[in-house]
Amino acid sequence: MAQSKGTVVLAYSGGLDTSCILVWLKEQGYDVVAYLANIGQKEDFEAARKKAVALGAKKVYIEDVSREFVEKFIWPAVQANALYEDRYLLGTALARPCIAHKLVEIAQREGAQYVAHGATGKGNDQVRFELSCYALCPKIKVVAPWRLPEFYQRFPGRCELMDYAKKHGIPVPVTPQTPWSMDENLMHISYEAGILENPKNQAPPGLYTKTCDPANSPDTPDVLEIKFERGVPVKVTNTGDGATRSSALELFVYLNDIAGKHGVGRIDIVENRFVGMKSRGIYETPAGTILYHAHLDIEAFTMDREVRKIKQGLSLKFSELVYNGFWHSPECEFVRECIGRSQEPVVGTVRLSVFKGQVYILGRESPRSLYNEELVSMNVQGDYEPADATGFININSLRLKEYHRLQSKVTVKQDE
């Protein structure tokens, strides 16, 4: 055994990688404190605790951060209508700074100089974890085994990790036959690697775990009313059975159940990782998909057009910052503040149907609505003079007329 190097707090999942890393860190001379975040994943946490202790962890923390995840990370993303590259709802990217916050807190509590994680050297999560850790505790030191030659040269693939696990009596549920890797939290689950690395390969039957196949989903929709205050969902009511949920965590879990039952929230995409490569990911984001559509609708109903244009630009920037791991950066804090300010008028209720893999907006109402039924009606003139539109069109056409007049001159000269 190597000479003691001090205490390291390991972001532990109980899976193959972090189980092997726990044992490997001990071999390198670290005292290992394991930290397992309960962020809404399906997990036998007590079994994970026992496993970590059996592998040599001197202490195990299991911290429930689910409510914090919803209120401090998911809700700002809902307010932002956050979407990376037009499709990805950022389920993993939002979870990492939440997990890292508690990781640093435990390191400080334990007087540990080091934190460690099991993120690979090719992915985004290494960046997300470490930027968060350094922002929250600038003096912390990070041990990233998958970037250390002595680790990744020893374990170039899953087979070598499996051999190491068997040699050290590490019980792991993963076998070489498992054809993909998964990462789950309350907001979503992701699938990647293995047979999914070929982007031509269709997701095999049985891959999806949070949502049922839309083709086999119920033949009757669930109709929901979702109430928003300042762009945040505060109540959901099922108009069919009268079920209601108001607390943030319960509301989100309920929407996960409803959306999952109807097969809502599946995407299969190729995205651009921050480190510079494209990757294929399959995601299930049930509740997040419902809330994205509902919030988009109530926001359009209540927000001024020009404010919304600016806010849309901020949303793109927010999504990029979160994806790339800059949640705790000053620019991301600034953008969140601006988006939060834009949400003051986003108040009201959206009625929608969840059915066969889709979310259908049925109606909306708000005391802050900017919709004027009389003004827009085709049957009532209201406080609007149609003749004024002539001047509006003439002024806006001036630029177009001049542009094409000059283009015509250029074309004539080129033809001579």
Q: Is the pLDDT of residue 1 over 60?
A: no
240 neighbors 383 (Cβ within 8 angstroms):
no
Query: What single-letter DSSP state applies at residue 69?
Result: I
Dihedral angle of Cα 146, 147, 148, 154, to the nearest 10 degrees: 40
Measured between alpha carbons, how far is 65 from 40 in angstroms, rounded to an integer? 8
Confidence of residue 40 (pLDDT cuts 50, 70, 90): very high
How many alpha carbons fall within 13 Å on the CB side of residue 14? Answer: 21
Retrieve residue 159's tokens: 């087979």
Mean pLDDT (whole number) for 66-82: 98
- pLDDT, position 384: 85
Question: Which one is predicted more confidently, 204 or 327?
Answer: 327
Measured between alpha carbons, how far is 264 from 354 in angstroms, rounded to an integer? 8
Q: Is the pLDDT of residue 416 over 70?
A: no
Element counts in the chain: helices (H) and strands (E): 14, 14
Measured between alpha carbons, how far is 208 from 190 in angstroms, rounded to an integer? 9
Give the fold, CATH level 3, of 7-65+89-177: Rossmann fold (3.40.50)
Q: Is the pLDDT of residue 130 over 60?
A: yes
- pLDDT, position 413: 74
255 CB contacts (<8 Å, ≥6 apart)?
224, 236, 286, 287, 290, 291
Q: Is the pLDDT of residue 55 over 90?
A: yes
Measured between alpha carbons, how far is 161 from 153 in angstroms, rounded to an integer? 11
Comma-separated ranges of CATH 3.40.50.620 domains in the chain: 7-65+89-177
Active site residues: 17, 96, 125, 181
Rounded to a whole number of angstroms, the distance between the first and last alpha carbons of the chain is 87
Strands 278-284 and 266-272: antiparallel
Residues of the chain with pLDDT > 70: what percent?
97
Average pLDDT, the chain: 94
Retrieve residue 238's tokens: 């099922």
Q: CA-based angle 114:332:110, to the nearest 5?
A: 20
Confidence of residue 173 (pLDDT cuts 50, 70, 90): low
Measured between alpha carbons, how far is 69 from 101 in angstroms, rounded to an integer? 11
Give the fold, CATH level 3, of 182-365: Argininosuccinate synthetase, chain A, domain 2 (3.90.1260)
Comma-separated ranges of CATH 3.90.1260.10 domains in the chain: 182-365
Q: Is the pLDDT of residue 341 over 60?
A: yes
